[in-house]
Amino acid sequence: MILPMPLLRQVPSPNASSRAGQRIRLVVVHMMEGSYLGSIAWLCLVKAQVSAHLCMKADGSEWTQLVPLSGKAWHACNANPYSIGVEAEGFTAKGFDDVWARALAQGVAWLLRRYGLPCRWAEGGQGDGFCSHHDLGAMGGGHSDICEVGSAEWRRFQGFVEAAYAAFGDAPLPDWALHGLPAPTTVAHLPASVTPEPSHGGARRAEPAEQPGDLTVGSLLWAQKKMVALKVPLALAPGFECDGFNGPMTEAAVAAFQGAHGLFVDGIAGPKTLVALEAA
Is there a single domain that holds both residue 21 and residue 119? yes
**Residue 181 half-sphere exposure toward CB, CA atoms < 13 A:** 8
Buried b (16+ CB within 10 A) or exposed e, 234-248: bbeeeebebebebee
- Residue 169 placed within a domain: yes
Residue 111 lies in a domain: yes
pLDDT band at 203 (very low <50, low <70, confident <90, very high): very low
Together in a domain, 51 and 142: yes
| DSSP track, the chain | -PPP--EEEE---S-EE--TTPPP-EEEEEE-SB-HHHHHHHHT-GGG----SEEE-TTSSEEEE-S-TTSEESSSGGGGGGEEEEEESB-GGG---HHHHHHHHHHHHHHHHHTT--SSB-GGG-SSEEEEGGGGGGGGTS---SS-TT-HHHHHHHHHHHHHHHHHTTSPPPS-S-SSPPPGGGB----TTPPP--GGGG-S-SS----TT--STTSHHHHHHHHHHTT-GGGGSTT---SS---HHHHHHHHHHHHHTT---SS---HHHHHHHHH-
pLDDT in tens, 147-171: 999 999 999 999 999 999 999 998 8
pLDDT confidence band for 24 (50 / 70 / 90): very high
Give the residue-averaged pLDDT of 235-259.
Answer: 83
pLDDT at 249: 84
Q: Is the pLDDT of residue 201 over 50?
A: no
User: What's the rounded mean pLDDT across residues 265-280?
Assistant: 80
Are 202 and 42 contacting, i.e. CB atoms less than 8 angstroms apart?
A: yes
Q: Report the first-to-last Cα separation within the chain, whole angstroms.
A: 52
What share of the chain has pLDDT > 90, as a percent? 55
Per-residue pLDDT at 200 exceeds 80:
no
- Total domains present in the chain: 2
Residues 131 and 229 in one domain: no
Give yes or no for residue 45 having a pLDDT over 60: yes
Instruction: Please tell me whether residues 147 and 191 are part of one structural domain.
Output: yes
CATH number at residue 269: 1.10.101
Pair (197, 224) in one structural domain: no
Give the pLDDT of residue 171. Answer: 87
Q: Tell me, what CATH number does 100's domain have?
A: 3.40.80.10
- Note whether residue 210 is domain-resident: no
Domain range for 274 is: 220-279
Q: What is the pLDDT of residues 46-89, one digit of tens each?
A: 778 889 999 999 999 999 999 999 999 999 988 999 999 999 99
| Ramachandran angles phi, psi of 45, nearest 5° | -85, 130
Q: Which of 167, 202, 237 is the last residue of a domain?
A: 202
d(CA 80, CA 74) in angstroms, rounded, equals 6
Q: Count other C-beta atoms under 10 Å from residue 138's C-beta.
A: 13
What is the reported pLDDT for 250? 84
**End-of-domain residue from the set 171, 202, 233:** 202
Determine the pLDDT at residue 56.
98
Do 125 and 237 belong together in one domain?
Answer: no
- Whether residue 209 is predicted with pLDDT greater than 60 in this model: the reply is no
Is 2 part of any domain?
A: no
Residue at 213 is within a domain: no
Q: What is the mean pLDDT of residues 256-271?
A: 83
Domain edge (last residue) among 157, 175, 202 = 202
Specify the pairing of strand 16-17 against strand 72-73: antiparallel
Asked if the structure places residue 207 within a domain, the reply is: no
pLDDT computed for residue 174 by the predictor:
93
Q: Are residues 129 and 265 in the same domain?
A: no
Q: Are residues 47 and 160 in the same domain?
A: yes
Residues 238, 132 share a domain: no
Residue 215 included in any domain = no
Kindly state whether residues 76 and 180 are assigned to the same domain. Answer: yes
pLDDT category of residue 204 using cuts at 50, 70 and 90: very low
**pLDDT band at residue 202 using 50, 70 and 90 as cut-offs:** very low
Which has more confidence, 39 or 200?
39
Domain co-membership, 88 together with 180: yes
- pLDDT, residue 214, reads 53
* Residues 243, 127 share a domain: no
pLDDT of residue 6: 95
Q: Which of 103, 94, 95, 29 is nearest to 61 (CA)?
A: 103
| pLDDT at residue 125 greater than cutoff 70 | yes
Per-residue model confidence (pLDDT) at position 72: 92
Kindly state whether residue 1 falls inside one of the protein's structural domains: no
Q: Per-residue confidence at 218, pLDDT binned at 50, 70, 90?
A: low
Q: How confident is the model at residue 222 (pLDDT cuts 50, 70, 90)?
A: confident
